[in-house]
A and B are shown apart, each in its own frame.
Chain A
Amino acid sequence: MNSWRIFVLGGWTSYRALFSWLSPWILVPTFIIEPVFQVLFFASVGKSAGVGTATFFLIGNAVQYASIPCLFAMSNTIGGERNSQTLSLLLVSPARRIPLFVGRAMPVILNGFGVTIVTLVLGALVLRVDLPRSSWLPLVVVVAVCAFSCTGLGLMTAGIAMRVRETAVLSNIVFGVLLIFCGVNVPLSALPGWMATTGGWLPLTHGIAAARELAGGATWGAVAGAVGTELLVGACYLVGGLVLLAFFEAESRRSATLELA
């Protein structure tokens, strides 16, 4: 029961307490203006280069932008606590770590999901992209899976944040890696082999591919494999993140560097 409270109430309280994102002065520029302009920018670049379609760039960038809340929020889970000098209090508590950190991930998944859906809707309106009605519901499911898998990666960055002070820099670098490697604006077939292979091991890659197929009229059955792979990749990162957090927590206690990183 205690673990359940930590999972639900702890996660929600942490989300509300750690982020000033709930202010419209941050929420609107960060979660609406920026992603929509990223879609418009790359769609315009693609048009200028004579490559890709508006739908291709809309899906890729809208789904990839879920990574902003997923990566920044999760790394701030550690970085924000350190800045407020509450990290040691948090880690000295007897709370079980899995509900503690996975609980914090839940609102973040919802946040990432919401950002992508809003970007998809606004981007489609501006670019006049008509997504088939039959694809809407499966697309929502794919977006939710992508938000989950990206939050798994975010949990790994949270683990690294135990040792790295510059969490904003870390999250921006991971964001850039996802932008290049996950087939967001360039099909995997157009990337060098090693980059396409690396992309296959990252979150979002399979989800973006599945979303594009759905937008092209494919059935759920045709993309179920890719969605399953995305889910599996996300689960692996989630477990990896929890392991990293446990490892660096023990290391930080041993070397007394929790507040120093």
Chain B
Amino acid sequence: MKQLRLLRVGWWLQLKIRGRSTFDGLLGILYPLFFATTIFFIYRQGSDPTALVGAAVGASVMGVWSSTATSASSVLQGERRQGTLELLVAAPSSFPLLIVPITMALATVGLYSLVATLLWGRFVFDIPVRVDQPLAFGAAVLVTVLAVSLMGFLLAVTAVRYRYSWALGTAFELPVWLVCGFLVPLSALPAWVRPISWLLPPTWGVSAIRAAALGGSPWGDVLLCAVTAAVYALIGTALSGRLIDSARARATLALS
């Protein structure tokens, strides 16, 4: 119960901080819209109107990943710069429970982006996205946002020793859009890429959202998204413990 409260309070506090940040808040919504607009124009040239609807759904999820990838990779560097990293590590609460709310807040900003992209497509490009299974759609979106935030947590922990971690996060933005089938079907990618796609939670999340919106069976993909995300959370938790122990032993926590 205490842990849940910590997650809730941390998430809300971080959401307020990130929501007021021009970079995480405003740009987190605008930047994916630039790409979505380009994608809508590309698909509008094609002759298949259903492809445009599918593209709208895929493009809407792009923002969730964008908002998380760049900022999550530099979360701990940001804490270090503010001089609060030692305080977080020294806190009696579990370290992952202090970091996950930050990446959850970033993914929640991405949720705004998801809604904004769907509305942008509806009102500017006249793309009629009718959600076939609203309940499943809501569940798929929530699980995807949670999965992306846990992926962001792993990214944040991995990048703790990397001074230029923001560049790492930015570099992952487009590859994940491509490899996870946000817009391009996995079957269109080279065969050797597909196993990589299966290991990434957004692949299952996007597939579930698309199935729930356009008709299909989303629950299997929702489950796979949740399972892969849980694996990322476990790896992140184990890794954070080892890295913090190492940083404490070498007294390098404040150094980058």
* A interface residues, Cβ below 8 angstroms from B: 20, 23, 25-26, 29-30, 33-34, 37-38, 40-42, 44-52, 166, 168-169, 172-173, 175-177, 179-180, 184-186, 190-191
- CB neighbours (8 Å) of A166 from chain B are 22-23
Select A176's contact among B31, B46, B47, B189, beta carbons within 8 Å.
Answer: B31
CA distance A244 to B27 in the complex (A): 24
**CB<8 Å pairs between A and B, sample of 10:** A26-B164, A34-B171, A37-B178, A49-B55, A166-B23, A168-B23, A169-B26, A175-B34, A179-B35, A186-B42
- A176, B34: Cβ atoms under 8 Å? yes
Q: Which residue of B lies closest to A33 (CB)?
A: B171
B3 CB–A CB distance under 8 Å: no
Main secondary structure on A side of the interface with B: helix
- A50, B23: Cβ atoms under 8 Å? no
- A49, B46: Cβ atoms under 8 Å? yes
- CB neighbours (8 Å) of A177 from chain B are 34
State how many angstroms separate the Cβ of B175 from the closest Cβ of chain A: 5
B188 CB–A CB distance under 8 Å: yes
CA distance A91 to B189 in the complex (A): 53
* B interface residues, Cβ below 8 angstroms from A: 22-23, 26-27, 30-31, 33-35, 37-39, 41-48, 51, 55, 162-164, 167-168, 170-171, 173-175, 177-178, 183-185, 188-189
- A173, B46: Cβ atoms under 8 Å? no
Select A48's contact among B23, B45, B162, B185, beta carbons within 8 Å.
Answer: B185
State how many angstroms separate the Cβ of B223 from the closest Cβ of chain A: 27
- A45, B164: Cβ atoms under 8 Å? no
CA distance A176 to B175 in the complex (A): 18
CA distance A50 to B27 in the complex (A): 30
CA distance A196 to B124 in the complex (A): 17
